[in-house]
Amino acid sequence: MPKILLPSLSQARKESFAARGLHFVESITVPEFEKVISDYLGSHNILHLATCMNNEVRSTTLEYFNNGLTVYVLSEGGGKLANLKANANVGYTIADPYNPEKDFFGASGIQVWGRATVFRKNDAPEIFASINRYARGADSLELQALKAKAATVNFYVITIEPDKIIYLNYRQGYRKATWER
């Protein structure tokens, strides 16, 4: 069963943050926190995926979509797939634009550690269809007359299941809130 870890603050730090309009979540259920993370994932579409092989880390910027905490990436190939074949452990980050000159406490983002699995779209069309229903951008493909072309590509489907998630969003009351499987 997953658990949530919320860092505690001394009374003096709580008062210091409160003076700046910041109040932190001190208690949340696992389902409530998972909804916060799922909504965050659903409101973004770009992540930075870190893979590793032979002690050489590769970070790749990719478009993704999600179903709950599970993230999916469609890929035509590349070095990340060789890395995933050698080592299924991955990490990724997603962050909002941050402008400390305007709002020092405006940083927000997630850091995720997990395991990836990979399959080819044409090797498991039923599984692909069940996953692809969560994909965003179908309207864009249609508008750009690319839907038929995209359907012919035998994408690799990377599925990432999280083991640990750290969420930071001071303005919403989260300071290194951690979800662990």
pLDDT in tens, 66-77: 999 999 999 999
- Domain range holding 55? 3-180
Residue 119 has pLDDT above 80, yes or no: yes
pLDDT at 33 (0 to 100): 98
pLDDT in tens, 95-107: 999 999 999 999 9
Look at the block and give the residue holding tokens 């038929």.
Answer: 148
What CATH number corresponds to the domain at position 127? 2.30.110.10
CA distances from 154 to 34, 50, 65, 119 (A): 32, 23, 18, 10
- The beta-strand segments (E) located in the chain are 3-5, 46-53, 56-63, 65-67, 70-75, 89-95, 108-120, 156-169, 174-180
Q: With contact defined as beta carbons under 8 Å apart, do 13 and 7 qualify?
A: no
- The number of folded domains in the chain is 1
* Global confidence as pTM: 0.92
